[in-house]
Amino acid sequence: MRKIVVACGSGIAISQIVALKVHQLLEERNLTVPIEAIAIKDLEAHLPTSMVYLSIFPAEKPYEIPVLDGTAFLNGNHQEELEKLIQIIQKEQSKDTIIV
């Protein structure tokens, strides 16, 4: 399964907090998904292995994966973004399901 990527200036502070919050919210819903907090300068290298990008900064350009507002997970107004994220995860999981 591809991962969720969260990027901030350094990959240490805000992206780590968002990654932890998202991990907790998904765990409460019995969803286990890899989440990686990175520095924004490393984003391009992580996109091919990511299903969604949680942005702390406004996206500078369009990406080939969905981009959600990562700051929503900081301020507590995350319900809409969480619902979108869960839909993306479910779609990703359905791709990984092999029917025999």
Rg over alpha carbons for the chain, rounded to the nearest Å, is 13
Q: How confident is the model at residue 98 (pLDDT cuts 50, 70, 90)?
A: low
Domain harbouring 83, CATH code? 3.40.50.2300
Q: What is the pLDDT of residues 53-91, one digit of tens each?
A: 999 988 778 999 999 999 999 998 999 999 999 999 999
Rounded to an integer, what distance in angstroms lies between the CA atom of residue 17 and that of residue 37? 9
Rounded to an integer, what distance in angstroms lies between the CA atom of residue 45 and that of residue 84? 24
52: helix, strand or coil: strand
Q: What is the pLDDT of residues 6-44, one digit of tens each?
A: 999 888 899 999 999 999 999 999 999 999 999 999 999
Count how many domains the chain has: 1
pTM across the whole model: 0.90
- Please answer whether residues 55 and 67 qualify as being in contact, where contact means their C-beta atoms are separated by less than 8 angstroms: yes
- Domain region containing 65: 3-96
